[in-house]
A and B are shown apart, each in its own frame.
Chain A
């Protein structure tokens, strides 16, 4: 495989026999098939599929089984943060960063084909109800911020969004079509600009069956994305390409 071949057209690769598709008989990749097909024990303490976690830290937090946790109350800026002058029409929305329709995680999305398949630049989704409140129309430039950072993106108004929430799909990087944010005077960030890392104590468990490090097996959960952003129209669209 060469750079020339992968830029010309998609090519198959067989990365590792454990994680991905060591294909046989034309089977496509699917996780854990090897455990079923070849009777390889699952990498848990019991060797079986396991839902109950008996580790003492999990017991301490009462999270031995999956359980419901309410979201945190809306907070955009905390006391003591830099003050940002509020806009008259400003929304506070729950901010979520789901997988894109055509890409997952940090899969490179900023190529022409992918960008042509939607709006060609950073975009955020919100409901028509919220959009009306702030006078936002489809394809308007928005400025989205909270205490962690600022991102600018175009609005996608759709009734498939419930009121009070906002989507910014994964891996929309700041190299493409990203104007300056009015608040900072610098280029807006990526979808991760308003998020921050929280470490949850239960993630500190290690070396215990499936609760051990394995690349792409065990990672942080989505709690760092349980947050809110303030949304306003971007007044000046300034590119400052110099």
Chain B
């Protein structure tokens, strides 16, 4: 029975969320393209947004790249470059991770406070906006707690368990046994993270996928021409 629980949590659930992400993204971009916006509320409140949004976005982008590094890069690679495990954990994980996490947390706290207390912002929020805010806040807190609690579990090395499992997800052969020794707080963070991943395309978060990088290379004035009659 415990096995079934673990399989559900560490095999079925992650794939369900990933499929939901892919399915949702396709549906959103093919049939509901018009609904994709940044859902900006800057018009309604500006000052708290300035601090909250800037700090949060910087933090979350750093945290995102931190996750990419921590999960996708195998331990053997960093060791190959002569970075010891201690150094990696101290500088990479603990310092960089905590820094990014704190930025994201501070930003998210301001943004969530703003969303729930500013009357204009609150009444124009959809329920998914509210859920997204709270979910992000919880996930960030859990993530930060995991990073900070690292030294409490000296025997646990996520790069040998969690990261390996995460990479295996991409090879379609996840070994759920790897997750059995992972501390609860890490597990919760992973579950929350996948949840957000799962409902990502159905919420405002989808705007992150539409970063308009083409703008930098575009000419200023855009002309559009109707097809001409022959």
Direct contact of A and B (CB under 8 A): no
Interface residues of B (CB under 8 A from A): none
Residues on A lying within 8 angstroms of B by beta carbon are none
